């Protein structure tokens, strides 16, 4: 998206401006008011059977895409490059025309509503701030184009800068700010127009690791405080797990599974989801439908697992045990030991027909005494539900 296009989005995200709650015990009061309002306004989102085909492209960028978001919820769209995350967000914002399907916000059909009437605000990967303006002026911009009085917009902009922790930087030019600070300004600017829906397209990907973590936690705090219905796009699974109420894992233009982070991690419904989120071992097993025998031990199977016979069971590293000597499990030899502070990860080569390398994760204080590269060990699965494919 060009800078001009981004400016247009920033300028026209909402036609109806409703000032946020003023002083008092700011946080709680504002949060309550906004939450109440967001459910009154029914600020949820429904995207139903949406197809998006870019001109000249043989493939659908969105293919029967469905997404249902509750008011005040933070949904993260996660997936590899090119799976359609940005397209889903842009279609929701009205920046892309769609070829099939419907989009509802707060129960109202906005499929044919232009971008400037959808009352959404977007934050992009690149900060897209106006460099010749101060932080305060940047935040005021969206309010100015809506004709909010000078005193009022100064008050709101100040409040939003405080929310993102930049009160003391209000009069600094944005080109003199760090990447993290600039992205805070962009966030404050988006929130200033009091959007029904906040859209974040990889807002942290241009930042270094430490700032990313700080800012993602802050985005989540602010989102909870303001109760803004939010869609956050990332290809970083850790980021997704950390901030989301629910994560939608996208593949080939549709959501393959959408669930709370814990559910997605513990009960992935497809191989793509299981391998996209977290580490997983692919272990040979024999299934009877409800459970599989892996390394001589029984492992319960998740719904949607491949039915019977020889299967591959996707077992998380922490769902494996390691012992120096045991009569249950599969013998193997330690190939690497990685200490991760409280946890340790051990790579073990087991001799199962073909050589198979498995990764076991356990609390560091449960490592067998004297364990080192070359040690003989026995690996066995815990009775934790897993997906068979």
Ligand X SMILES: Nc1ncnc2c1ncn2[C@@H]1O[C@H](COP(=O)(O)OP(=O)(O)OP(=O)(O)O)[C@@H](O)[C@H]1O
85 binds ligand X (CB under 6 A): yes
Of the residues 54, 300, 351, 383, which one makes contact with ligand X according to CB under 6 A:
54
Give min distance, CB of 4 to Mg ion, in A: 19
Of 77 and 191, nearer to Mg ion (C-beta) is 77
Ramachandran region of residue 338, left (φ > 0), alpha (ψ -120 to 50) or beta? beta
Give min distance, CB of 250 to Mg ion, in A: 10
Cβ neighbours around 34 below 10 Å, total: 20
Query: Does residue 43 contact residue 195 with C-beta atoms inside 8 Å?
Result: no
Decide: residue 278, CB within 10 A, 0-12 exposed, 13-18 middle, 19+ buried.
middle
81 binds ligand X (CB under 6 A): yes
Q: Which stretch binds ligand X (CB under 6 A): 81-89, 182-190, 295-303, 322-330?
A: 81-89
In whole angstroms, give the CA distance from residue 339 to residue 352. Answer: 26
Q: Where do we find the tokens 């997605």?
A: 264
235 binds ligand X (CB under 6 A): yes
Give min distance, CB of 138 to ligand X, in A: 25
The number of residues that bind ligand X (CB under 6 A) is 12
Q: Which stretch binds ligand X (CB under 6 A): 1-9, 31-39, 77-85, 280-288?
A: 77-85
CB under 5 to 8 A by kind: which of ligand X, Mg ion, none does 41 bind?
none
Structural tokens at position 370: 């004297």
Q: Where do we find the tokens 């040979």?
A: 284
Beta bridge partners of 46: 68, 104
Give min distance, CB of 24 to ligand X, in A: 40
CB under 5 to 8 A by kind: which of ligand X, Mg ion, none does 61 bind?
ligand X
Residue among 191, 217, 192 at smallest CA distance from 204: 217
In whole angstroms, give the CA distance from residue 193 to residue 213. Answer: 26
In whole angstroms, give the CA distance from residue 62 to residue 293. Answer: 39
Q: Which stretch binds ligand X (CB under 6 A): 15-23, 80-88, 178-186, 353-361?
A: 80-88
Of 87 and 287, nearer to ligand X (C-beta) is 87
Q: Which residues of 339-349 are buried (b: 16+ CB within 10 A; e: fewer)?
A: eeeebbbbbbe
**Which residue number places its CB atom closest to Mg ion?**
86
- Write the interaction track for Mg ion spanning residues 56-95; mark x where CB under 5 A is met and - where it is not: ------------------------------x---------
Give min distance, CB of 100 to ligand X, in A: 16
Give min distance, CB of 105 to Mg ion, in A: 21
Residues 6+ away with beta carbon under 8 Å from 258 = 67, 75, 246, 247, 248, 249
Q: Which stretch binds ligand X (CB under 6 A): 74-82, 109-117, 148-156, 281-289?
A: 74-82
Of 235 and 246, nearer to ligand X (C-beta) is 235
Give min distance, CB of 87 to Mg ion, in A: 8
Residue among 236, 294, 278, 291 at smallest CA distance from 81: 236
234 binds Mg ion (CB under 5 A): no
In whole angstroms, give the CA distance from residue 80 to residue 43. Answer: 28
Of the residues 30, 61, 75, 204, which one makes contact with ligand X according to CB under 6 A:
61
In whole angstroms, give the CA distance from residue 121 to residue 327. Answer: 60
H/E stretch holding 45:
strand 45-52
Give min distance, CB of 2 to ligand X, in A: 12
Give min distance, CB of 229 to Mg ion, in A: 20
User: What residues line the site for ligand X (CB under 6 A)?
Assistant: 54, 57, 61, 79, 81-87, 235
For Mg ion, the binding residues (CB under 5 A) are: 86
């Amino acid at each position: 998206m060009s800078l001009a296009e981004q400016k247009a989005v920033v300028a026209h995200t909402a036609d109806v401006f409703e000032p946020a709650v003023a002083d008092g015990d700011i946080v709680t009061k504002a949060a309550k008011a906004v939450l109440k309002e967001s459910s009154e306004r029914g600020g949820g989102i429904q995207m139903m059977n949406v197809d998006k085909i870019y001109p000249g492209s043989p493939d659908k960028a969105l293919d029967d895409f469905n997404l249902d978001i509750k008011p005040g919820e933070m949904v993260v769209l996660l997936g590899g490059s090119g799976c359609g995350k940005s397209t889903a967000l842009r279609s929701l914002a009205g920046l892309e025309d769609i070829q099939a399907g419907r989009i509802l916000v707060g129960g109202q059909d906005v499929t044919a509503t232009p971008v400037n009437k959808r009352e959404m605000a977007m934050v992009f990967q690149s900060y897209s701030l106006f460099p010749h303006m101060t932080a305060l002026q940047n935040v005021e911009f969206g309010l100015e184009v809506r004709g909010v009085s000078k005193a009022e917009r100064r008050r709101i902009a100040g409040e939003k800068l405080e929310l993102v922790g930049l009160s003391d930087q209000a009069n600094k030019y944005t080109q003199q700010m760090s990447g993290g600070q600039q992205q805070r300004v962009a966030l404050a600017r988006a929130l200033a127009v009091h959007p029904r829906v906040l859209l974040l397209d990889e807002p942290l990907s241009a930042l270094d690791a430490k700032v990313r973590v700080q800012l993602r936690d802050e985005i989540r705090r602010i989102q909870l405080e303001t109760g803004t219905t939010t869609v956050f796009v990332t290809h970083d699974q850790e980021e997704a797990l950390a901030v989301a109420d629910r994560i939608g894992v996208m593949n080939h233009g549709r959501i393959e599974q959408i669930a709370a982070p814990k559910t997605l991690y513990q009960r992935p419904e497809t191989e793509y989801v299981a391998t996209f989120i977290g580490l997983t071992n692919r272990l040979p097993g024999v299934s009877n439908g409800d459970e599989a025998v892996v390394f001589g031990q029984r492992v319960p199977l998740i719904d949607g697992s491949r039915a019977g016979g020889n299967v591959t069971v996707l077992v998380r590293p922490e769902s494996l045990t390691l012992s120096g000597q045991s009569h249950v499990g599969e013998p193997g030899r330690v190939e690497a030991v990685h200490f991760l502070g409280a946890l340790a990860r051990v790579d073990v080569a087991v001799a199962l027909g073909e050589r198979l390398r498995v990764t076991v994760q356990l609390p560091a204080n449960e490592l067998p005494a004297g364990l080192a590269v070359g040690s003989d060990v026995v690996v066995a699965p815990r009775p934790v539900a897993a997906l068979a494919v």
